[in-house]
């Protein structure tokens, strides 16, 4: 069937009788600009309004950790009002709602009310503490039924927070469970705070480094999650850095995440948004070099060559793939900066610390 990944589980003989390995390819399910993701407690309408006018690529309205239990019903109503009253797409933003966990009495009402009353306005639902693929299946089943019952024409995506030892132990299965290229699952997020608690890790700051650990104690987990994302066509997003008075600490964490292949990071304070946008944006020099790489390879190809040299270094097909990754992000950034309603707008084409995870 067109669009489905190619699957095989064995070595297949070719015409010459030798063995060649078949493989599966999972293209990115949904491209969204997600350099910065601002967490906003839905219990605070003033913060929501400021976030809508701010520079974050992504905003999630939090119904979970940032909202005290007595405030959750009102926070849900606030989130629905904000989804309906603010034209997030026209402001160049993706808007998400972090629902409460499946282990709470709030989750089902979050999904039902948000989908029934604002299902054509919300872009994704962020599902916390996903431990096994069935957790996502439950939310997807609810969302699918409500879309059909209400007659929604838009399709709401899902994003999963990997923030427990169980979730990390099952991260490959979770990433693979999203239904293929047509599935709802779009991204995995590393929720470092709850992950640290689940692991009983000793930490000095949410997302920060323990000076007694020889290196980055989050490296293995974040790398594993990112590999699972890239294997199954999902976006990989790093989670929070708790000390918003330490911009250099945030930058360092963002650089490490970017080096591993993450394409964005949470901001739990508005001051962190510009830092994330800076780190996860290619520089002008990187964009120029990417374009030169592709031009040089086309010229080499015309001469029957599979490789070329640029600035004294060999470049080949792998170099082109890396260059195109840079250009895709640069194009998305240019689209976000275009005036609302133009073809370049992202969705035309297709205070204090907030929630901790």
Cβ distance 80 to 118 under 8 Å? yes
pLDDT of 344: 35
Quick one: 65 and 199 in the same domain?
yes
Q: Indicate whether 307 belongs to any domain.
A: yes
Give domain status of residue 264, yes or no.
yes
Please give the residue range of the domain that contains residue 338: 282-350
CB 85 within 8 A of CB 48: no
Domain end call among 281, 316, 333: 281
DSSP code of residue 47: H
What pLDDT is attached to residue 188?
A: 98
Would you tell me the crossing angle of helices 317-337 and 284-302 to the nearest 10 degrees? 140
- Which positions of the chain have pLDDT values less than 50? 1-20, 339-354
264's tokens:
């964005």
What is the structure's pLDDT at 356? 55
Residue 148 lies in a domain: yes
What is the per-residue pLDDT for 131?
98
pLDDT score at 17: 44
Give tens-digit pLDDT for 208-227: 888 888 989 899 999 999 99
Whether the full predicted model's pTM is greater than 0.85, yes or no, is: no
**Is 29 contained in some domain?**
no
Q: What pLDDT score does 235 carry?
A: 96
CB 98 within 8 A of CB 133: no
Q: What is the pLDDT of residue 123?
A: 98
H helix or E strand, kind and range, residue 95? strand 94-98
Report the number of distinct structural domains present in the chain: 2
């Amino acid at each position: 069937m067109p669009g489905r990944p190619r699957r095989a589980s064995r070595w297949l003989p070719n015409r010459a009788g030798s063995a060649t390995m078949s493989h599966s390819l999972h293209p990115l399910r949904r491209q969204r600009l997600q350099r910065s993701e601002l967490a906003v407690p839905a219990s605070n309408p003033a913060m929501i309004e400021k976030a809508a006018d701010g520079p974050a690529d992504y905003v999630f309205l939090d119904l979970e950790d940032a909202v005290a239990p007595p405030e959750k019903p009102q926070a849900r109503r606030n989130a629905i009002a904000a989804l309906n009253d603010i034209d997030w797409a026209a402001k160049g933003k993706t808007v998400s709602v972090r629902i409460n966990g499946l282990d709470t009495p709030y989750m089902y009402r979050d999904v039902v009310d948000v989908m029934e009353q604002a299902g054509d306005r919300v872009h994704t639902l962020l599902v916390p503490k996903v431990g096994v693929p069935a957790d996502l299946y439950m939310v997807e089943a609810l969302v699918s039924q409500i879309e059909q019952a209400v007659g929604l024409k838009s399709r709401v995506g899902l994003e999963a927070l990997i923030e427990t030892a169980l979730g990390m132990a099952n991260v490959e299965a979770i990433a693979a469970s999203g239904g293929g290229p047509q599935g709802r699952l779009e991204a995995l997020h590393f929720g470092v705070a709850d992950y640290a608690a689940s692991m009983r890790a000793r930490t000095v700051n949410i997302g920060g480094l323990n000076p007694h650990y020889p290196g980055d104690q989050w490296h293995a987990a974040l790398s594993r999650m990112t590999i699972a994302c890239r294997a199954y066509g999902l976006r990989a997003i790093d989670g929070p850095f708790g000390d918003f008075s330490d911009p250099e600490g945030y930058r360092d964490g963002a650089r490490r995440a970017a080096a591993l292949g993450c394409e964005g990071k949470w901001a739990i304070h508005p001051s962190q948004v510009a830092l994330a946008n800076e780190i996860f944006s290619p520089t002008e020099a990187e964009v120029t070099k990417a374009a030169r790489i592709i031009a040089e390879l086309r010229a080499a190809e015309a001469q029957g060559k599979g490789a070329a040299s640029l600035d004294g270094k060999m470049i080949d097909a792998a170099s082109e793939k890396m260059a195109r990754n840079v250009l895709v992000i640069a194009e998305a950034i240019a689209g976000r900066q275009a005036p609302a309603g133009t073809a370049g707008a992202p969705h035309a084409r297709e205070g204090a610390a907030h929630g901790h995870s």
